[in-house]
Amino acid sequence: MRLFRVIGKRFTRNRLSVIGAFTVLSLITISLLAPFIAPQDPTAIDVHNVLSPPGKTHPLGTDELGRDLLSRIIWGSRVSLKVGFVAVGIAILIGIFIGSIAGFYGGKVDAILMRFVDIMLAFPTFFLILAVIAILEPNIFTIMVVIGITGWMDVARLVRAEFLTLKERDFVGAARALGASDTKLIFRHILPNALSPVFVAATFGVAGAILIESGLSFLGLGVQPPEPSWGNILTSGKDNIEVAWWLSLYPGLAILITVLSYNLVGEGLRDALDPRLWEAERH
């Protein structure tokens, strides 16, 4: 508990990170309460209010089918955050597994797995995702899985680096002397001590996944209409940029604020969990 208090104290010193954390929590709350706080049905078509500017009835205006933009942005937050969390969860699980095995066993196992990581890193991630999405049916499930299985490499390298250091520590040697199996050494003794950089990478990863999903939806390869997504709302904005500026401004701001907030939280966690800064403060 004392460790968590120290980490929390260090995190709150960074005001921008605190603002980012508050914004992230607010966005999560909005996405969870979307069915209750969205003023209108996000898919309801109103031919009498096509491309209406922001006003009392529609605070953020309407799109080319008369659908309320505020409601679509609120519901779109559910899609973006769902993709972010699930995709990063998949990436973390794969990265932890491969990084743990490579770092713990070393030698040929490490060489083979790291060469595989290098091969994956050689492919431009976004174009690899585009290729897979073009083959498979573009839907939210496919997007989450594809982003997850193409984004685990950095996590694997971080976990491997931590394992290479931690497996030489005295507490691991003591557990091995007591007869602990490799599985127990990896998952009970070493892995819990190697997760700090993973938390930081996960926070940045959510922001990256949201950007990728928005980009895919913008290109028409992501979440398909009429289901609202910030990316496909931007597509409507592109098509009507000269007469409906609000269709580009508000979803763009939603993406900007969300990604910036997650990056600020990631920077705060990185500083709060960095042991080198802890040592510097002691001296």
Q: Measured between alpha carbons, how far apart are the two ends of the chain, in Å?
A: 24
**What's the total number of domains in the chain?**
1
Burial class, 223, CB count within 10 angstroms (exposed 0-12 / middle 13-18 / buried 19+) = buried
Choose the weakest-confidence range: 58-72, 125-139, 164-178, 227-241: 125-139
CATH of the domain at 87: 1.10.3720.10
pLDDT one-digit tens code per residue, 217-262: 888 887 888 888 898 888 888 888 888 899 999 999 999 999 999 9
Question: Which pLDDT does position 281 carry in this prediction?
Answer: 52
Please check whether residue 43 lies inside any domain of the structure.
no
Examine residue 54 and state whether it is found in any structural domain, yes or no: no
pLDDT at 189 over 90: no
Task: For residue 12, tell me if it sits in a domain.
Answer: yes
Q: Greater confidence, 20 or 125?
A: 20
Rg (the chain; Cα; Å): 22
Whether 93 contacts 119, CB under 8 Å: no
Asked if the structure places residue 50 within a domain, the reply is no
Q: Which amino acid is at 180?
A: A
Instruction: Give the type of residue at 121.
Output: L
- For residue 97, tell me if it sits in a domain: yes
Coil, strand, or helix at residue 62?
Answer: strand
Whether residue 189 lies inside any domain: the answer is yes
Average pLDDT of 166-184? 83
CA 171 to CA 189: how far, in whole Å? 8
**Residues 6+ positions from 201 with CB-CB distance below 8 Å:** 92, 154, 155, 158
**Percent of the chain at pLDDT above 90?**
28
Q: How confident is the model at residue 4 (pLDDT cuts 50, 70, 90)?
A: low
Q: CA-to-CA distance for 128 and 141, rounded, in angstroms? A: 17
**Which DSSP helix (H) or strand (E) runs through 229?**
none
The two structure tokens encoding residue 178: 């007591």
Partnered with residue 62 across adjacent β-strands are: 68
pLDDT digits (tens, 9 = 90+) for 60-101: 989 888 899 999 999 999 888 888 889 999 999 999 999 999
114 domain-assigned: yes
Is 11 a domain residue? yes
**Residue 59 CB: number of other CB atoms within 10 A?**
14
What is the rounded average pLDDT for all residues in the chain? 85
DSSP letter string, 142-167? HHHHHHHHTS-HHHHHHHHHHHHHHT
- Containing structural domain, residue 12: 2-37+66-282
